[in-house]
Structure 1
């Protein structure tokens, strides 16, 4: 009998692995320096070579870096359904993206729709539009067809597992 893992613990790990591989290639090629921001861990006990700890609530987005002299900041989200619930992006993450975008950084989301096996680059301006629509009583998610119209599909190309910088 096969059991399906219903845990959310590893949700998004596929997307993060793909992005990390692309970031390593960007770094090695001298194209960009983009790093994963680790989730903070509170150490509970120290046993010398091993520690016992717990993850703290993340206060940042997933990635930050620089490309062609411009700061980049983005979050990666993996979705199994047909729309991206705006509630999947925490308020502090949205505010951080907004703050950096206002200061000239390229802020965006990379969203993987596992149902369609497609990756999308969503610029902050589109995310902001969707958030404002939700705050004024409109739709609380971004539909897949809106990603097709307002986002940009990103694919594997030129040896990159996910050539997302091409969308910038």
Structure 2
């Protein structure tokens, strides 16, 4: 079994987003791409003498957006503890719609999906996601089987000095 990244040493306890952020910094440093994490939207309720209170609002975006080789990239990072499938309920309607909209306009739209118990990360292209999403809407399967990731998606590994080289 191939491993995507080592949970030991420096990466121990690091979540998928932290590993992506590290990789994105490497991409920027080397001039490969400029991909940024989209901040979680917060609604400010009050600001009294520097003490700010607020709450997280429903986002309209996915986790990451940027540019690589002159083209737009949008994607979201997802984790599942399942060893057999990725539940589509892990994706919100607005995330799917944004990925679809950008994909239809020529952007690279995808999910990075971590199977945490298998220690594997896959890049799930929008085309594959879209076919399962539409099938689920019609009453079909509500998850994507693990074997589809193995057969139709790219396994993302630490390579060429990148923590998670998802732009290869």
How high is the TM-score relative to the length of structure 1?
0.88
Structure-2 separation of matches of 1:47 and 1:113: 43
Q: Please, which of 115, 120, 125 is the counterpart of residue 113 of structure 1?
A: 115
Q: 1:74 corresponds to which residue? A: 75
Structure 1 consecutive aligned stretches of length 4 or more whose deviation exceeds 6 Å: none
Q: Please, which of 138, 141, 160 is the counterpart of residue 139 of structure 1?
A: 141
Question: Following TM superposition, by how much is the alpha carbon of 1:61 offset from its aligned partner in structure 2, in angstroms?
Answer: 0.4
Q: Which runs of 5+ in 2 are unaligned?
A: 1-13
Deviations 1:26-47 (A, max 9, x none): 0010000000001101112213
Q: 2:8 corresponds to which residue? A: none
Query: What is the DSSP-based 3-state SS (H/G/I as helix, E as strand, rest coil) of the residue aligned with 2:31?
Result: coil
Structure-1 separation of matches of 2:163 and 2:87: 26
Structure-1 separation of matches of 2:160 and 2:136: 38
Map of 1:116-127 to 2, 5 A cutoff? 116-127=118-129
Q: Please, which of 101, 104, 107 is the counterpart of residue 106 of structure 2?
A: 104
Q: 1:158 corresponds to which residue? A: 160
Structure 1, 39-48 or 92-101: larger mean CA deviation:
39-48
Q: 1:45 to 1:88 in 2, by over 3 A?
A: same
Question: Following TM superposition, by how much is the alpha carbon of 1:48 offset from its aligned partner in structure 2, in angstroms?
Answer: 3.8
Question: Following TM superposition, by how much is the alpha carbon of 1:106 offset from its aligned partner in structure 2, in angstroms?
Answer: 0.5
Query: What is the DSSP-based 3-state SS (H/G/I as helix, E as strand, rest coil) of the residue aligned with 2:60?
Result: coil
Structure-2 separation of matches of 1:110 and 1:120: 6
Question: Following TM superposition, by how much is the alpha carbon of 1:137 offset from its aligned partner in structure 2, in angstroms?
Answer: 2.1
Structure-1 separation of matches of 2:50 and 2:30: 35
Q: Please, which of 91, 95, 100 is the counterpart of residue 93 of structure 1?
A: 95
Q: 2:43 corresponds to which residue? A: 42
Map of 1:8-27 to 2, 5 A cutoff? 14-27=15-28
Question: Following TM superposition, by how much is the alpha carbon of 1:112 offset from its aligned partner in structure 2, in angstroms?
Answer: 0.3
Deviations 1:111-147 (A, max 9, x none): 0000100000010000011112212222110011111
Structure-2 separation of matches of 1:137 and 1:78: 24
